[in-house]
Amino acid sequence: MGRIVMKFGGSSVASAQRITAVADIVRSRLDRRPLVVVSAVGVSGDGEPKITDQLETLAELANSHRPYEENLDRIRVKHKKVVRELGLKWEAVSPVWKKLLAAVKDVDRPYREFLDEVFSFGERLSSFIIAEAFSSWGIPARCADVSELGILTNENFQDASVAPENESKVLAALRDEEKILVVPGFVGHTADGRITTLGRGGSDYTAALVGSAFEVDEIQIWTDVSGMRSTDPRLIPDAERLDVISFDEAKELAAFGAKVLHPKTIEPAMRKNIPVVILNSFKPADAGTTIRNERVKQNTVIKAIAHKSGVARINIESTRMLGSAGYMARIFTVFAKHQVDIDVMATTEVSVSLTVNSMRRMDRVIEELREFSNVSVDEGKTIICTVGEGMRHTPGVSGRVFSTLGTAGVNVELISQGGSEINITFMVDDKDAERAIRALYYSCIS
């Protein structure tokens, strides 16, 4: 049997007790020579925010020259408790801790670069501690240092990506390592060695990059739910688990808010045709969800619903006759220049409506768009994405979706069906989102 990647998210490594459970899971699969990827310490129910969030606050304070010692102390206390309860000595961790102290003092650089280095310590600390714990329990393990990762990214700090041609460089320096590698998720670096991060929730993407580089048999994402559900369990707690879904379905669901999987995870796995399996570290015996290259139809045409709230709609109308090709090109150039991703889009010859996740960096975008367009912005919107392989070539699906929403009294805007024909995506006001999702779930899925 070939190797596997096992990625453990924040809640799976949030305490000494959780890390002990992780060790049991890893131990039971040692014959698969797992490559272990870990997130930063997450929420464990002690009222403390997750470490990555705490590091962000720390970076903000340090950057604006406000006192941050108390925040630093909270981060230290949290890790010290985990270390002590694992039966380890803090002295072993202190070289990593000292690097964090030095990084926080080094504020005299662009904030986005500073933040990514500070961010990286969540995963650098957790991977170090977990490797030490594994070793102390007789699982021969070693933590991969940032300098050994080979996760060569672009310079898009906070949301960096690895070009497909660089995927084979991932962990290349550690290809022959005999011990179990514990890899810090979320972290990469530029060609000149500055640290980047891969986007919030990006440790899933690290797992896929490692899996692709080592051409493993399976990429396991261990989290706090037993697989992907047909609808966000925070909205519909009894939404059923999806047994198998296709790469295309998973890509749409992850892109439109199914937080359980980072959207960038699918591409590297898909290119090498490696199944991604979502499993529950709190209930390791539970069945999960397998994402693979197989179009599985089921009884209901719509298999799942994802949603993303708090998005903004940008309406752009041409003030000059440019011809639609030139007009689109100009719009895209402005968004690309400021590194703002567009989610959903609808167009006519002279006007374009599109959505963006947040208004970050949008001031500059709007200013430049206004040089050749009228621009208006509507905030407080939710994108809802319905997905199912069965939608391909099935008539009447959109009729069903929109009549359901009509009956529920939900006003729908900006409808789009992607090229893959396996989704119908549209926008509603934030205030209508929950009602819309419930109506669709009970009419089209359950």
- Which residues bind to ligand ASP, rule: CB under 6 A? 9-10, 39-40, 50, 52, 122, 185-186, 200-203
224 binds ligand ADP (CB under 6 A): yes
From 51-59, 73-81, 98-106, 222-230, span contacting ligand ADP (CB under 6 A): 222-230
225 binds ligand ADP (CB under 6 A): yes
Choose the contact partner of 233 out of Mg ion, ligand ASP, ligand ADP, none; CB within 5 to 8 A by kind.
ligand ADP
232 binds ligand ADP (CB under 6 A): yes
| 427 CB neighbour count, 10 Å cutoff | 24
From 4-12, 140-148, 243-251, 348-356, span contacting Mg ion (CB under 5 A): 4-12
Closest separation between CB of residue 249 and Mg ion, Å?
A: 18
CB-wise, 282 or 372, nearer to ligand ASP?
282
CB-wise, 49 or 359, nearer to ligand ADP?
49
CB-wise, 36 or 410, nearer to ligand ASP?
36
Choose the contact partner of 11 out of Mg ion, ligand ASP, ligand ADP, none; CB within 5 to 8 A by kind.
ligand ADP
Closest separation between CB of residue 320 and Mg ion, Å?
A: 44
CB-wise, 207 or 331, nearer to Mg ion?
207
263 binds ligand ADP (CB under 6 A): no
| Alpha-carbon dihedral sign for residues 397, 401, 402, 406 | positive
10 binds ligand ADP (CB under 6 A): yes
Closest separation between CB of residue 38 and Mg ion, Å?
A: 12
CB-wise, 42 or 122, nearer to ligand ADP?
42
Taking CB under 6 A as the rule, which mask of x and - marks residues 24-43 in contact with ligand ADP? ---------------x--x-
CB-wise, 34 or 368, nearer to ligand ADP?
34
Q: Give the residue carrying structure tokens 């699918």.
A: 266
393 binds ligand ADP (CB under 6 A): no
CB-wise, 334 or 422, nearer to ligand ADP?
422
Strand partners, 197: 187
223 binds ligand ADP (CB under 6 A): yes
Binding residues (CB under 6 A) for ligand ADP: these are: 9-12, 39, 42, 201, 223-225, 228-229, 232-234, 258-260
